[in-house]
C-alpha cells in the first residue's frame, strides 16, 4: 500500500485531498498544527484504519516512521486576513516548513508536490497569467509574507530537484472554493455567503471592478492528483479561467441566496490584485485536465454546505474586514 503525507490536512484543500487519497486506496498521514485548520474537516476519517493524524507544526523537524511514497505540502495560512494576523507563521511554513519536508522527501526517497499559488504573480501586469510570467510582487506589503514565502518555496523545491535529483512537482493554485472553507477567513466566497445567510449587506472592497476566477474544489483536487502522477517538474497553473468581476459575483450570490441584501462598498485592501485569470494551456496539454464544474453548480454545492450551519455557528463567524 502506498503511503502519502498530506500537510495542512485539517484545512480546506488538505482535507479534500485526504478524502481523495483515501478513496484511491492510499495510507494517508494527515499533519496539521490546527492554527487555521479544524479537526471538524477530517473527523470522519479518524475511524479509518488507513488514516493517521499527527498534530504537528511542520516548521519544526518532521519525523514519519518507516516508508513514505508521496508528500503533498498544503500547510499554510491562505487568506489575506490570516497573513495580517499571523505573518511570521505564514513566512515560516512556506520556507522552513518546505525545507523540512524536502529533507524528509530526500530521506524517504519520496515524491513531493508543493502547493504554490497565483500570488506568485502578485498584481499581474500580464493577463491571463501563464507560468512563464515572473510576476509583480510587493515584498514588503501585507501580502508579501505569503507571496515571497511561496516564491521561496518554488525556488528551494527546484533546487532540491536540480541539486539532489528529488522528484518534485509544483502546483500554482488560483482562487478555489467549496465546502469546508472557513466561514470567517475573510475570503470573498465564504464572506459573501456568510453575510447573505446572516441577512447582512454584502461588502465589496473597492469598486468591485477587480476580477477573480473561481475553481470548484473537486476540479482542483483532480488537477493536483494528475500533476502528482505526471512527469512534469516545472510549475503548472491549476484554476478555472472563468473570470468575473467581484461586483458581478456579489450580484450572483445575492440572486442565488434570494436574501435581497444590499451591496455596500469598503476601501480596497493594499496590493489587492486588479485582475486574475489562469492560463491553463499547460495543464490541458500535460495533464489533459480542465475544470468541469461551473460556478453556478459549484456555488450551489458550497451554499448547501453553509446552509447546514446552525444559527449560532453563523453568528459566531461574524464577518471581519481589514479596517
Ligand atoms: N473581497 C470583497 N469583499 C469581501 C472579501 C473580499 O470585495 O468581503 C474582494 C477582495 O478585495 C478581492 C477579492 O474579493 O479583490 C477576492 O478576495 P479573497 O480574499 O477571496 O482572495 P484573493 O484576494 O487572495 O484572491
**Are residues 268 and 145 part of one domain?**
no
150 and 113 housed in the same domain: yes
Catalytic residue (one of 70, 83, 146, 216): 146
pLDDT at residue 322 above 60? no
Decide: 29 and 71 in contact? Cβ < 8 Å.
no
Active site residue 146: yes
β-partners of residue 255 are none
pLDDT band at 323 (very low <50, low <70, confident <90, very high): very low
The whole-number average pLDDT for the span 175-204 is: 95
What are the backbone angles phi and psi of residue 266, rounded to the nearest 5°? -130, 165
Counting from 1 in the atom list of ligand 1, the atom nearest the Cα of 191 is 8
- Tell me which residue has cell 525556488: 155
Q: Is residue 202 part of a domain?
A: yes
* 260 pLDDT higher than 90: no
Mean pLDDT of 212-223: 98
Q: Tens of pLDDT along 5-46?
A: 999 999 999 999 999 999 999 999 999 999 999 999 999 999
Which residues line the pocket of ligand 1, CB cutoff 6 A? 79-80, 175, 186-188, 191, 203-205, 210, 212, 246, 269, 272
Distance of CA 108 to the CA centre of its chain: 26
Same domain (yes/no): 23, 168: yes
Give yes or no: residues 249 and 226 share one domain. no
Q: Of all atoms in ligand 1, which is nearest to the CA of residue 189?
A: 20
pLDDT in the model for residue 79? 93
Q: What would the pLDDT profile of 84-138 be if each residue is shown by its tens digit?
A: 899 999 999 999 999 999 999 999 999 999 999 999 999 999 999 999 999 999 9
Whether residue 168 contacts residue 114, with contact meaning beta carbons closer than 8 Å, is answered with yes
Domain-located, residue 280? no
- Atom 14 of ligand 1, nearest CA residue: 188
| C-alpha dist (Å) from residue 19 to 68, 202, 219 | 18, 32, 14
Please state, in angstroms and rounded to a whole number, the distance separating the CA atoms of residues 112 and 75: 13
Q: Which residues pair with 52 in a beta bridge?
A: 29
pLDDT per residue over 293-321, tens digit each? 999 999 999 999 999 998 888 887 765 55
Calpha distance 269→135 (Å, rounded): 19
- Give CA–CA dist 180/278, Å, rounded: 23
- Which of 78, 187, 208 for a ligand 1 pocket mutation test, highest count of atoms within 8 Å of Cβ? 187
DSSP secondary structure letter of residue 269: P
Protein residue closest via CA to atom 10 of ligand 1? 205
Task: Tell whether 25 and 148 lie within a shared domain.
Answer: yes
| Residues 117, 33 share a domain | yes
CATH of residue 46's domain is 3.40.50.720
Residues 165 and 250 in one domain: no
Same domain, 152 and 209: no
Give, in order, the Cα–Cα distances in Å from 141 to each of 38, 123, 138, 195, 286: 28, 12, 5, 28, 34
Q: How many residues does the chain have?
A: 323
Contact 41, 181 (CB under 8 A): no
Q: Average model confidence (pLDDT) for the chain? A: 96
- Give which of 212, 272, 274 is closest to 239, Cα–Cα: 212
One domain for residues 167 and 202: no
Provide the residue range defining the domain that includes 203.
Answer: 179-213+242-275+293-315
Cα–Cα–Cα angle for 123, 8, 86, rounded to 5 degrees? 55
User: How far is residue 50 from each of residues 22, 240, 242, 286, measured CA to CA in Å?
Assistant: 7, 32, 37, 31
Amino acid at each position: 500500500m502506498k503511503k502519502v503525507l498530506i500537510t495542512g490536512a485539517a484545512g480546506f484543500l488538505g482535507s479534500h485531498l485526504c478524502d481523495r487519497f483515501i478513496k484511491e486506496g492510499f495510507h494517508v498521514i494527515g499533519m496539521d498544527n490546527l492554527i487555521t485548520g479544524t479537526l471538524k474537516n477530517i473527523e470522519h476519517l479518524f475511524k479509518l484504519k488507513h488514516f493517521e493524524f499527527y498534530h504537528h507544526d511542520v516548521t519544526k523537524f518532521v519525523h514519519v516512521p518507516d516508508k513514505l511514497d508521496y508528500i503533498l505540502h498544503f500547510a499554510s495560512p491562505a487568506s489575506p486576513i490570516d497573513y495580517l494576523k499571523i505573518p511570521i507563521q505564514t513566512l515560516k511554513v512556506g520556507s522552513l516548513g518546505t525545507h523540512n519536508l524536502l529533507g524528509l522527501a530526500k530521506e524517504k526517497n519520496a515524491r513531493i508536490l508543493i502547493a504554490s499559488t497565483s500570488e506568485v504573480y502578485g498584481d499581474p501586469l500580464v493577463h491571463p497569467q501563464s507560468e512563464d510570467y515572473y510576476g509583480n510582487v510587493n515584498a514588503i506589503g501585507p501580502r508579501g509574507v505569503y507571496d515571497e514565502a511561496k516564491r521561496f518555496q518554488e525556488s528551494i523545491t527546484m533546487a532540491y530537484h536540480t541539486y539532489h535529483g528529488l522528484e518534485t512537482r509544483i502546483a500554482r493554485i488560483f482562487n478555489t472554493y467549496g465546502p469546508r472553507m472557513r466561514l470567517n477567513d475573510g475570503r470573498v466566497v465564504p464572506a459573501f455567503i456568510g453575510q447573505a445567510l446572516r441577512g447582512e449587506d454584502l461588502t465589496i472592497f473597492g469598486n468591485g471592478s477587480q476580477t477573480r476566477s473561481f475553481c470548484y474544489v473537486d476540479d482542483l483536487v483532480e488537477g493536483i492528483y494528475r500533476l502528482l502522477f505526471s512527469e512534469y517538474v516545472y510549475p503548472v497553473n491549476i484554476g478555472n479561467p472563468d473570470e468575473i468581476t467581484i461586483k458581478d459575483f456579489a450580484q450572483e450570490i445575492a440572486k442565488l441566496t434570494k436574501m435581497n441584501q444590499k451591496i455596500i462598498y469598503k476601501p480596497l485592501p493594499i496590493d489587492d490584485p486588479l485582475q486574475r485569470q489562469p492560463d491553463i494551456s499547460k495543464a490541458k496539454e500535460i495533464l489533459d485536465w480542465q475544470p468541469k464544474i461551473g460556478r453556478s453548480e459549484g456555488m450551489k454545492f458550497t451554499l448547501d454546505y453553509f446552509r447546514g450551519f446552525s444559527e449560532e455557528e453563523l453568528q459566531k463567524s461574524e464577518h471581519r474586514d481589514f479596517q
